[in-house]
Structures are given as C-alpha cells and as structure tokens.
C-alpha cells in the first residue's frame, strides 16, 4: 500500500516538477509562478438509493490544501497544474487537476480542465471494498487575484465515474461533486 501511494505521489508530482524547472529568464518575465492553496470543500456523492431507486447520497464538508504551478502561454491563456490533498470524515483524496485558464483582466481568471483523484485510504464493509480508488472529473474554477501574491478561488468538481457504494447507508454508484472556496499565495 505504501509503495502504491509513493508511486502515485511521484507520478502526480512529475508535471509540477516539470513546470518548476522552467528557465530563470521565463521566471523573470513573470510567465511562471507557483504557490499554495487551502480552503473548504462542500462535497457530495450523488447516488441512487438501493431500495427505492430514488436519488440519494452522502454530503460532507472538508478541508483541502495543495501546491500549484502556473505557466502563462500568452497574455490571455495559462496552464495550471496542481497536486492537492482533500480530507473528508471518511475518505482521503489525492487530487491532480490540469486547467486551461483564461484571464479577463489581470485580476480575474476562469479555468476548466480534467482532474484525476485517488482515494488513498481503505473503505470496506463486510470484507468488500466499497470504493473505486481512481476517479476522473471535470473541474471549473474562478480566481480573483487580490494582490500580486494573494488570491481567492472557487471551483466546482463534477465526477464522471462511479466511485462509492455504501450499502450501510443504502446507496450505490456515487459520483463525487464538490464546491470549493479557498485562498492561495503565489511565490
């Protein structure tokens, strides 16, 4: 288990390390920066009730933290990669979004892209694992740059694959959806 988590961590860290290795000249031109983010998630597993077939699920509030790197492709567009960690009451997530961002003005950006997530802890009931460890989703984000260093961000994640069956709570085929609000600091 530890080996899998180590390999996953190194695999997800590679794109971040690649962006960190940009030339000094590019850094001087402000084409590249990196930073940290933290905040709160309000997430849910939208699912189906196993008895009635009606919509069901599980809602949780949690916290997240991440490191990110952003490279400006031109005046309007940039590419951001991130390595994040999100903790709910039951599950621990490693998250790796890659976003194409558009800058409306220097202070306001929106972005969209895929996100891969990995649930790193075990979640069993009666000897049966109730989770699909790997998840893929779409993430949309809006960011307001308060100053040269500080930012405020909000994002929404829409899960594309089924990740949780919790028969103790009576639902199956749960897809992760989350609303996020947080702050960040750019170095």
Q: How confident is the model at residue 79 (pLDDT cuts 50, 70, 90)?
A: very high
Residue 118 phi, psi (nearest 5): -135, 125
* Range with lowest mean pLDDT among 92-96, 161-165, 179-183: 161-165
| Closest to 166 measured CA to CA, from 41, 42, 85, 60 | 60
For the whole model, what pTM was predicted? 0.74
Q: What is the CATH number of domain 2-186?
A: 2.40.160.20
pLDDT of 122 > 90? The answer is no
């Amino acid at each position: 288990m530890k080996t899998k988590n180590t390999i996953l961590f190194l695999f997800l860290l590679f794109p971040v390390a690649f962006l960190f290795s940009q030339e000094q000249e590019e850094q001087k031109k402000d084409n590249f920066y990196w930073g940290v983010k933290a905040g709160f998630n309000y997430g849910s597993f939208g699912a189906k009730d196993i008895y009635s077939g009606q919509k069901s699920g599980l809602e949780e509030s949690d916290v997240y933290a991440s490191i990110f790197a952003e490279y400006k492709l031109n005046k309007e567009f940039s590419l951001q990669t991130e390595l994040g960690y999100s903790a709910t009451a039951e599950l621990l997530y490693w998250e790796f979004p890659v976003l194409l961002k558009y800058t409306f003005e220097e202070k306001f950006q929106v972005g969209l892209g895929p996100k891969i997530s990995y649930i790193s802890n075990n979640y069993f009931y009666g000897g049966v694992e109730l989770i699909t460890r790997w998840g893929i989703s779409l993430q949309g984000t809006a960011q307001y740059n308060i100053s040269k260093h500080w930012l405020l961000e909000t994002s929404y994640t829409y899960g594309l694959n089924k990740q949780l069956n919790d028969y103790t709570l009576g639902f199956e085929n749960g897809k992760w959806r989350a609303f996020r609000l947080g702050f960040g600091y750019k170095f």
